[in-house]
């Protein structure tokens, strides 16, 4: 039943040799890996205007030079990540780059930040997308949390089905969003050129503005950089690309950068030209669309694709998180369960963990995750800075042909991202302080996990000159509850394996004890019976005490003690409610608390 | 940790031989077993007036003859249950009486109704008590469900601690309630006699009332009978009494009947004399108390003890449910887990089941369980009728000395309870129809359970002439995952038990497979290694197929197959997250799906 349902949800299992088929071509990769970055266009310009409006609307012209600054940073990031893709063709992104060039802890800081960041990506994007939908259909507003959770579940299932299939489904909305915004920008520009749109009431570029400071401009710039979250996703996912992976990934990255630049510049320019001011009740993109087309089909089309891409931006997290978790697990910093490929060849444990964690965040924050956005930006710029710094050291150490321009590219990137990081920390400390707790905590946990695996390896390793102690003989202890077929089976099995079989009967009543001893003597005279009296109606306490005695004696003679426990296998699962589950209890207790082997022999009821 | 917490909650375990000490004397028994019946006084009169008011307030004088009718029924029930107590000194009440005299299904109908009824007792009483508290302190109103759940948890814990201790705690409120109501009645009567209270505006007794019908009078009578729920509790609990059980129980029953009669008559008479009309916002008892004392300390004392006894009425359910469940289990109609005495000698599984089920009802109905009251009354009158009918047949069959008056007593009781039952069904069908579904369903389940236990007994029984098939030899299958100390341990253990040991290696990769075979050949040349290739990255599928082959061959030669699975026992429990729990998975799968023994040998990590 359960397994049929699983098949229905995620499809039939795939052979390991099918792995190649699941890889992404550029068109699908762009759809699957860039929704996070491209969806940032929906709020990037707004973030800049929200800072400038604190001075005055006259300051809005600064959004154009700030956007150019962001574009410059974008170019630096894209070029830098392009270099990373070719230098690290196996993926891993910021984690691998930082670890190899800056050392273990830098790598773990980058890895830890990114893991948390992907969870935030999912929670924030899905919540924002849900908000867009519930704004369009207010009747759904009270079900926001439920809708967001359903979206996460759907994306989780799509990812469990496997990369290619999810990419086919996800490709349409991403391309629709790109088409919709491109149309919006083109029509908007046409209107401006033909003069159909009334001239902007905004101040001319270069107008002096009273009260503007460098600090405010830097803050506006840092806020605008939220449009850059998600550009690192491609460099983490190179192994998912069709061969040649690095070439395809680099081309996809450039294409994504170009699209992001065009859309971001276009939206920012239209916002300036239309004289749009950020509003509590309507997004900047919505205002631009309404002014360009009026509230007709095109307006709703743009709003719908925006909502959709925000929800699908979550999918970037689903592509990147499992791969990063697997990379950390390969280096023994994370549980090895993240290295297992599921039925459909995805890293299902990573997918499920991400789905579960983001649903938890959505429920805890009741889908009001807006104040997580600065945290999310910090979580991105920490690995940005670390990986670019790592690349600088790499060029400096290795000095390959033409290394100086490459070093300068990364140096500029490192300086800018570091400044953005500092500005984020200074201007939004009350929203991001927790990063200083959870990132060190994660690094600590990574080390603890690695230590555990090292300890385990040490304890499992066979030493060269080591000789195993031979087991000289076996003692079987068989708890019996009566004279029945089950007991007969167990005694049969035990005597077939060893001469030393001891049946143990735990009694709660002195008289019944004697009667049982007499019956046993008649039935199985060759098997020694020990009766234990239980004052407190517990099976485990007297049994454990007895086994301790036996085990103590056995160990002196290099004998191994095995406790044999029969287990009823009922015909129907509800029958289990009708039997004490003492066999399971005894087994778990002995195995975890005592040094004995535990054998279980099934007794299968036929009705 | 967990076990320390358990000790703190319920106290140290008691020896089985302490059982005598836990029995109840009459004073404690009255407190513990009568709170349900006595608390009915708080709403019995009100139920009568609520029916009469549908005609006119002039009809209120009928409450006095109706109360006399209820008293008559009460007397009949008390006398009948007194006879039951002496005839059935081992308790069991309606279930045992009906089963022995009317047959299996009548007994099961009585038993099933009572089981559900005790759950309703707990849910309804606790909710009503909580309502009384939240009415006094409106600030608590939004936490009604939480408060009710906490009350149930407290009562559950008190009952898990054991009967005597809970009785000591519960004795005070019950006696305080009796004292409070007695004072109320005495002061009220004194006021009436001395003429301090203005003469009632009610119609004189015997005044003709327009519109009154026999049907309405019977309905009022049936509603008033809700004051009688809970009188059967003592007859179910005779084994809990100090010796001589039946004598003590009978005396306690008479005393409870007398108290109930006095309180019910007194409240009904005061209500009539004061001319009180039932109100939506204030209970009848509250109106009487306010008119007698004014809203001073005595008023709040009466309200508080009323609230408290309603909550504690739930305790009657906790005394009776576990004993009835144990009686049903002894007769194999119910899971045998209800026969086990816990650490403090109470039937803990029954106590826990009742606590859980009533919390569930409270949460589902959000503590608004008022409309469950008619259901609860029907659930009581079904076993009343059945047990009295059973007693009639018993007297008729056995004809002991002086049987005729006894038979007449029960006959009168049976007729009245049956009429009340019919009236309840006719006048409140929309609220009680579900009883016609769940009682047959429970009877069906009881039969299914009994059938299962009979089947199990049959399958476990050793036949006289039966000879067990000897096991000719043993094959050990050891799944191995590498060349480590764990594997060495397992192979050592298996070879100490049998010559036929097969190591099985499941590989996901052809090349690694060959390398492993070569390494194995060097390391353990005497132990046969079988490698299985897994296309779908599953351990269980190839392993199961292989074991099927082995098992098939083994069975032909009367060999037993044992699969040996090593299990890591980690030093700290969080370490379990760092290892695949495949050993548990394989073990469960093989044990439940295949006919092999499964042995587990622990490998304990030291750090």
Contacts of A15 in chain B (CB under 8 A): 535-536
DSSP 3-state assignment of B282?
coil
The model's pLDDT over B40-66, given as tens digits with 9 standing for 90+, comes to 887 788 888 888 888 888 888 888 888
**C-alpha dihedral over A447, A449, A450, A456, to 10 degrees?**
140
Structural domains in chain A, CATH included, are 23-453 (1.20.1740.10), 473-604 (3.40.50.620)
Task: Inform me whether the pLDDT recorded for B593 exceeds 80.
Answer: no
Contacts of B601 in chain A (CB under 8 A): 597
The Cα B434–Cα B379 span in angstroms is: 11
Q: Which two tokens stand for residue B464?
A: 């006289």
Residue A252 · residue A30 · CB < 8 Å:
yes
Contacts of B580 in chain A (CB under 8 A): 336-337, 340
A276 DSSP 8-state letter = -
Which of A472, A496, A536 faces B13 most closely, judged by CB atoms?
A536
| Residue B325 pLDDT level (bands cut at 50, 70, 90) | very high
A95 Cα to chain B: minimum distance (Å): 21
Instruction: State the average pLDDT for chain B.
Output: 84
| Interchain contact, A597 vs B601, CB within 8 Å | yes
| Interchain contact, A340 vs B580, CB within 8 Å | yes
Mean pLDDT for the stretch of residues B105-125: 90
- Looking up tokens 């201790």, which residue turns up? B165
Least-confidence region, from A391-405, B3-17, B136-150: B3-17
Contacts of B470 in chain A (CB under 8 A): 492, 496
The model's pLDDT over A99-145, given as tens digits with 9 standing for 90+, comes to 989 999 999 999 999 898 889 889 888 887 887 777 666 677 788 88
User: Measuring CA to CA, which residue among A68, A81, A34, A38 is closest to residue A414?
Assistant: A81
The Cα B37–Cα B78 span in angstroms is: 12
Q: What is the pLDDT of residue A291?
A: 84
Which of B569, B598, B605 faces A600 most closely, judged by CB atoms?
B598
Q: Please, which residues have CB within 8 angstroms of residue A405's CB and are 6 or more apart in sequence?
A: none
Strand pairing report for A559-569 and A473-480: parallel
| Residue B94 pLDDT level (bands cut at 50, 70, 90) | confident
Q: What is the pLDDT of residue B409?
A: 84
Q: What is the pLDDT of residue A128?
A: 78
Q: Which residue ranges of chain A lie beneath pLDDT 50?
A: none
DSSP 3-state assignment of B237?
coil
State whether residue B98 sits within 8 Å of chain A by CB: no
The model's pLDDT over A236-281, given as tens digits with 9 standing for 90+, comes to 778 778 878 888 888 999 999 999 999 999 999 988 888 888 876 6
Task: Inform me whether the pLDDT recorded for B354 exceeds 60.
Answer: yes
Percentage of chain B exceeding pLDDT 70: 93
Other Cβ atoms closer than 10 A to B485: 16
State whether residue A602 sits within 8 Å of chain B by CB: yes
Better pLDDT: B491 or B594? B491
Residue B479 · residue B504 · CB < 8 Å:
yes
What is the spatial order of strands in the sheet that B559-569 belongs to?
Answer: A528-533, A500-507, A473-480, A559-569, A597-604, B597-604, B559-569, B473-480, B500-507, B528-533
State whether residue B579 sits within 8 Å of chain A by CB: yes
| Interchain contact, A496 vs B471, CB within 8 Å | yes
Q: What is the pLDDT of residue B498?
A: 92
H-helix segments, A103-162: 104-136, 144-161
- Looking up tokens 């190839």, which residue turns up? B542
Q: What is the pLDDT of residue A360?
A: 92
Q: What is the pLDDT of residue A496?
A: 92
User: Measuring CA to CA, which residue among A142, A169, A119, A162 is closest to residue A308?
Assistant: A169
Mean pLDDT for the stretch of residues B309-327: 85
| Interchain contact, A536 vs B15, CB within 8 Å | yes
Report residue B62 CA to chain centroid gap. Answer: 38
User: Measuring CA to CA, which residue among A581, A521, A207, A600 is closest to residue B598?
Assistant: A600
Please give the interface size between A and B, counted as residue pairs whose CB atoms are below 8 Å apart: 159
Q: What is the pLDDT of residue A354?
A: 94
Q: In terms of CA atoms, which chain B residue is nearest residue A456?
A: B605
The Cα A333–Cα A446 span in angstroms is: 5
Q: What is the pLDDT of residue B497?
A: 92
Total residues belonging to chain A: 607
State whether residue A604 sits within 8 Å of chain B by CB: yes
DSSP 3-state assignment of B474?
strand
Q: How far is CA A172 from CA A157, A168, A180, A266, B61, in A?
A: 18, 8, 12, 22, 80
Task: Inform me whether the pLDDT recorded for B21 exceeds 60.
Answer: no
| Element of type H or E holding B112 | helix B104-136
Give which of B486, B572, B601 to mutate to test A binding, by max A Cβ within 10 Å. B601
Residue A45 · residue A67 · CB < 8 Å:
yes
Contacts of B562 in chain A (CB under 8 A): 599
State whether residue A456 sits within 8 Å of chain B by CB: yes
In this prediction, the answer to ipTM > 0.85 reads no
Q: Which two tokens stand for residue B423?
A: 């009236």
Q: What is the pLDDT of residue B92?
A: 55
State whether residue A599 sits within 8 Å of chain B by CB: yes
Mean pLDDT for the stretch of residues B336-340: 87
Q: How far is CA A144 from CA A149, A286, A362, A363, in A?
A: 9, 20, 10, 10
Better pLDDT: B597 or A286? B597
| Interchain contact, B484 vs A462, CB within 8 Å | yes
State whether residue A335 sits within 8 Å of chain B by CB: yes
The Cα A131–Cα A126 span in angstroms is: 9
The Cα B330–Cα A595 span in angstroms is: 37
State whether residue A415 sits within 8 Å of chain B by CB: no
| Interchain contact, B602 vs A592, CB within 8 Å | yes
Residue A322 · residue A338 · CB < 8 Å:
yes
Other Cβ atoms closer than 10 A to B453: 20
Q: What is the pLDDT of residue B448?
A: 94
| Interchain contact, B600 vs A604, CB within 8 Å | no
B336 Cα to chain A: minimum distance (Å): 6
């Amino acid at each position: 039943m359960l397994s049929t349902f699983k098949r229905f949800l995620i499809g039939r299992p795939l052979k390991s040799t099918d792995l190649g088929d699941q890889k992404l071509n550029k068109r699908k990769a762009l759809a699957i890996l860039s929704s996070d970055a491209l969806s940032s266009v929906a709020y990037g310009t707004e973030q800049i205007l929200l800072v400038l409006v604190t001075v005055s609307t006259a300051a809005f012209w600064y959004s154009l030079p700030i956007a150019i600054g962001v574009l410059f940073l974008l170019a630096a990031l894209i070029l830098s990540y392009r270099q990373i893709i070719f230098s690290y063709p196996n993926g891993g992104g910021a984690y691998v780059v930082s670890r190899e060039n800056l050392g273990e802890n830098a790598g773990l800081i980058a890895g830890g930040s990114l893991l948390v960041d992907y969870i935030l990506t999912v929670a924030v994007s899905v919540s924002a997308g849900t908000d867009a939908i519930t704004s369009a259909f207010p009747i759904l507003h009270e079900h926001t949390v439920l809708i967001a959770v359903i979206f996460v579940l759907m994306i989780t299932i799509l990812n469990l089905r496997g990369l290619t299939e999810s990419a086919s489904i996800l490709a349409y909305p991403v391309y629709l969003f790109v088409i919709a915004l491109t149309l919006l920008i083109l029509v908007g520009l046409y209107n401006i050129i033909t003069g159909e749109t009334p001239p902007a009431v905004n101040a001319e570029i270069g107008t002096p503005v009273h009260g503007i400071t460098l600090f405010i401009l830097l803050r506006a710039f840092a806020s605008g950089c939220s449009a850059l979250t998600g550009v690192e996703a491609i460099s983490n996912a190179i192994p998912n690309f069709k061969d040649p992976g690095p070439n395809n990934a680099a081309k996809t990255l450039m294409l994504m950068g170009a699209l992001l630049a065009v859309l971001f510049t276009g939206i920012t320019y239209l916002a300036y030209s239309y004289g749009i001011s950020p509003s509590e009740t309507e997004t900047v993109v919505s205002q631009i669309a309404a002014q360009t087309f009026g509230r007709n089909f095109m307006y709703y089309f743009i709003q719908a694709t925006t909502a959709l891409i925000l929800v699908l931006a979550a999918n970037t997290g689903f592509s990147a998180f499992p791969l990063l978790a697997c990379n950390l697990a390969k280096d023994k910093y994370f549980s090895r369960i993240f290295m297992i490929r599921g039925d459909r060849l995805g890293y299902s444990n990573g997918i499920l963990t991400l789905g579960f964690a983001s649903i938890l965040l959505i429920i805890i924050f009741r889908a009001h995750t807006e104040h997580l956005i600065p945290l999310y930006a910090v979580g991105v710029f920490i690995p940005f800075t670390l990986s670019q710094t790592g690349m600088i050291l790499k060029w400096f150490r290795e000095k390959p042909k033409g290394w100086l321009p490459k070093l300068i590219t990364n140096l500029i990137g490192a300086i800018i991202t570091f400044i953005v990081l500092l500005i984020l920390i200074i201007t939004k400390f009350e929203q991001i302080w927790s990063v200083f707790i959870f990132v060190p905590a994660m690094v600590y946990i990574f080390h603890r996990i690695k230590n555990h695996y090292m300890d385990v390896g040490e304890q499992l390793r066979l030493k060269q000159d080591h000789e195993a102690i031979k087991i000289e003989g076996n003692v079987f202890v068989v708890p019996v509850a009566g004279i029945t077929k089950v007991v007969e089976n167990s005694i049969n099995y035990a005597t077939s394996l060893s001469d030393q079989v001891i049946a143990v009967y735990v009694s709660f009543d002195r008289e019944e004890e004697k009667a049982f001893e007499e019956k046993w003597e008649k039935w199985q005279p060759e098997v020694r019976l020990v009766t234990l009296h239980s004052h407190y109606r517990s099976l485990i306490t007297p049994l454990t005490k007895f086994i301790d005695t036996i085990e103590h004696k056995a160990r002196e003679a290099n004998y191994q003690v095995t406790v044999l426990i029969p287990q009823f296998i009922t015909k129907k699962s509800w029958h289990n409610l009708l039997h004490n589950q003492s066999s399971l209890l005894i087994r778990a207790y002995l195995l975890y608390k005592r040094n004995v082997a535990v054998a279980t022999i099934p007794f299968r009821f036929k009705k």
